[in-house]
Amino acid sequence: MKRAILFGGLVGAVLLIGQGDDARVFVDYREVMIPMRDGVHLQTVLLTPKDSKGLLPFLIDRTPYGVPGKEATEQGLPAGQRWRSENYIFVAQNIRGRFQSEGKFVMFRPPHDPKDAKGVDETTDAWDTVEWLVKNVPNNNGRAGIAGTSYDGWTAVMAALNPHPALVAAVEQASPADQFLGDDFHHNGAFRLSYGFEYSAMLETSATENYRFQFDRADTYDWYLGLGPLSNADEKYFHGKVPTWTDFTRHPNYDAFWQRQAFAPYLNAVKLPIVHVAGWWDQEDFYGPQKIYELMERHDTRDRNYFVAGPWNHGGWNGNGRKLGAIDFGSDTAAHYREKIFEPWFDHWLRGQGPWKLAEATVFETGANQWQEHEAWPPKRGVEPPGRVRRVRQRPGQPGAVPSAAGAAHLPGAGVARLAGAGSALRGPPPRRALVADGAAQGRPAGGRRHRDRTRRLHQRHR
């Protein structure tokens, strides 16, 4: 079967950014099977600069979505990738059980029991990969970095739990931190049906492709309405062969299964310099980068833990970041991030170039349309103290209203304070255009074919 080429994490950046540029960058392509400590071999592609001068570091992306095929590089890479293509040995690796990588795929495989000397996980696989690379790839300088978006960002955090000595820097972009409380499959404990169904089908129906579930109608919103109870998904379609869906049905609450998958028990040290990147309008993993930063910051005694946030949806930092929907931020915020943060970060730690200057938190303030730097996140200054709420309109004589320090009224027992207006959190008419790929908000069924195909393309491009 011909290998599918999917654009995950850094792979997406390599093959997509700057496609319109005329000057192409050519690299040498090499595919290897790297052995792990338990005898499993992982499919790995190395893209090495042609006619490179001097020793080069590795830049690694570990993914479940597929590695680039040779045909994708034969015509040269976009000029927008010159920085990476001329200064790094880029490494794209399929994790266990995906495509040609051996072993069993486990969705977001949690860390193994430390008492199990033979245990394996994404941390040990990252270690073994770096060990093989520095010992077997010629003309490397003995340093490696790892980066990725979403699932690939999660594998970057896993590598940082116990990094190989040669792994000296990381960037996680939109990594999930807790798949029940805030990321991907659940948002605040609410199960995301279509996402959970289609994503588990995509990665667990076939090991050799990113499977697209075959709906029998264009309007998938209508399809889900007709599905009936969730038990019908297994009875009619999955038949017990999609492990992640089975986990959904067996663990509807925040039990030990979900707690073991979350990062909270494991992030007890900052073992390498790391940047956490979030998008203000990330529809999948806005919770993750903030939570991971928070957990690691508790142990950051050497100032090696940083936070960045910009006006992006999921993976928006990989494309053109000037606009989101109809909103214009006045500049390409994604290019600013790549050129002023991402690239200098790895150049400093992996190539020893330039002094490193990065604020503890670098965030884009919408409205003002300016990048702001803070000495902490959340900022120590300019934040209302706990208990303050925004001003609300109170009916005269409404019982139980308690004035706050800000002069607003907070009603004991009320969930969230809101601005005045019937049923709206904002004054004035509701916006006419959604800022994320939400078909229902666009005035058509959320499962319409156009919406589904667009969402899938975005998902494949930015993960």
What is residue 445's predicted lDDT score, i.e. its pLDDT? 38
Please give the pLDDT value at position 423: 32
pLDDT in tens, 144-180: 999 999 999 999 999 999 999 999 999 999 999 999 9
CA nearest neighbour of 294 among 357, 376, 374, 179: 376
pLDDT at 33 over 80: yes
- The pLDDT of residue 134 is 98
Cβ pair 59, 346 in contact under 8 A: yes
- Stretch 391-414: mean pLDDT: 38
Q: Name 94's bridge partners.
A: 63
Bridge partners (DSSP) of residue 28 are: 48
Beta strand segments in 64-106, E: 89-94
Residue 279 identity: G
pLDDT of 387 reads 46
Mean pLDDT across the stretch 370-391?
72
Q: Is the pLDDT of residue 310 over 50?
A: yes
If 0-12 CB within 10 Å is exposed, 13-18 middle and 19+ buried, where does residue 425 land?
exposed
C-alpha to C-alpha distance for 163 and 95, rounded to whole angstroms = 17
Per-residue model confidence (pLDDT) at position 382:
62
Size of the chain in residues: 463
Assess whether pLDDT exceeds 80 at residue 291.
Answer: yes
CB 447 within 8 A of CB 438: no
Tell me the CB-side half-sphere exposure of residue 334, using CA atoms within 13 A: 21
pLDDT at residue number 22? 56
Q: pLDDT digit string (tens) for 95-123?
A: 999 999 999 999 999 999 999 999 999 99
Alpha carbons within 13 angstroms on the beta-carbon side of residue 326 total 4
Q: Reply yes or no on whether the pLDDT at 383 is more than 80.
A: no
**How confident is the model over 273-278, as a mean pLDDT?**
98
Residue carrying structure tokens 């000029």:
79
The SS3 call for residue 443 is coil
In this predicted structure, the answer to whether residue 337 has a pLDDT above a threshold of 80 is yes
Q: Are strands 186-187 and 27-35 parallel, antiparallel or unpaired?
A: unpaired
Q: Report the pLDDT value the prediction gives residue 77, as an integer from 0 to 100.
A: 87
User: Cis peptide before 243, with omega less than 30 degrees from 0?
Assistant: no
Residues 195-250 pLDDT 10s: 999 999 999 999 999 999 999 999 999 999 999 999 999 999 999 999 999 999 99
Q: Note the pLDDT of residue 101.
A: 98
Return the minimum-mean-pLDDT range out of 19-33, 45-59, 60-74, 155-169: 19-33
**DSSP assignments along 216-283, one per residue:** SSS-HHHHHHHH-STHHHIIIIITT--HHHHHHHH--SS-HHHHHHSSTTT-----S-EEEEEETT-T
